[in-house]
Amino acid sequence: MSRIDSEALVVRTVEFGEADVIATLVTEQAGKVSALVHGARKGSRRVSGALEPVLTIAVLLDDKGSELTTLKEARIARARGRVVASLDALGAAGTALRWARHLFPPRTPEPTGWRVLIDLLDVLEEGCGSPRNELAAAGLALLCAVGYGLELERCVACGKACPDGKAACVDLARGGLVCRACGGASTVLSCEDREAARAFAAGRPRDATQEQADTVLNLIDGALAAHAGLERRWR
């Protein structure tokens, strides 16, 4: 038996038996793992309120090498009361954690993806920008972190650059822009929306409008549906 000692985020909890919970965690050190939490539904002291999804927690897990680890202790490393108090911020945080649960492979550290999640939660806690805009930027970054990044500069088939000021076809299953010579795609981005998407991808979510954020969220939704099988939420 080995131990996993890491910071983590809770991305899902499922009741198990009469008193236990199985928690899906995204950990900094070991990636996504599932953990059995004995007595969680009876106020176990080993949990102490640390299974809330927007908290950064420090966990100690017993790892027997099987699919399921056992949580030995958890404590809150960073609380985020402002996120919990805002429906918009909480919704954005919940969406990002749901994305991570489906995108991150089991038992594979994703340091870049972990950093994207932590940075998003911290920005939402600060309350400086629009939660939806921040979510859109984080979503594009998460896709890049796991190898599904969207190419917004040139055709994914032939490599031809898309000129500035031009609308562009996007094939989300193929990973980005597809020029008309290579078959195009049913989804078309106006030149303004493509510039906004490029701003989000460059980490400048506050340069775009809420409507442009919705366009980018729709792109992320389509990519997640194509690569991770998630049901689309934005249309």
35: tokens are 């953990």
Residue 47 near residue 20, CB atoms below 8 Å: no
Q: Out of 54, 79, 104, pick the residue that ends a domain.
A: 79
- Least confident window among 50-59, 172-181, 203-212: 203-212
29 contacts 15 by C-beta, under 8 angstroms: no
- Number of folded domains that form the chain: 2
- Cβ–Cβ < 8 Å for 180, 158: no
Per the domain annotation, does 22 fall within a domain? yes
> Using one digit for the tens of pLDDT, what is the confidence trace for 155-188?
999 999 999 999 999 999 999 999 999 999 989 9
Whether 121 is covered by a domain: the verdict is no
Treating both helix axes as pointing N-terminal to C-terminal, what angle do 131-145 and 111-126 enclose, rounded to 10 degrees? 170
Contacts of 18 (CB under 8 A, 6+ apart): 41
Specify if 102 maps to a domain. no
Residue 141 inside a domain? The answer is: no
Mean pLDDT of 62-67: 87
Is residue 208 domain-resident?
Answer: yes
Structural domain ending residue among the three candidates 26, 58, 79: 79
Residue 145 tokens, joined? 């972190």
Last residue of a domain, one of 28, 47, 79: 79
Dihedral angle of Cα 219, 223, 229, 230, to the nearest 10 degrees: -30
CATH code (residue 31) = 2.40.50.140
User: Do 154 and 75 share a structural domain?
Assistant: no
Tell me whether residue 87 is in a domain. no
Q: In angstroms, rounded to a whole number, what is the distance separating the alpha carbons of residues 95 and 111?
A: 19
Which pTM does this prediction carry? 0.92
Domain membership of residue 101 (yes or no) is: no
179 lies in a domain?
yes
Which domain does 45 fall in, by range?
2-79
17-33 pLDDT per residue, tens:
888 999 999 999 999 99
Residue 48 has a pLDDT of 67
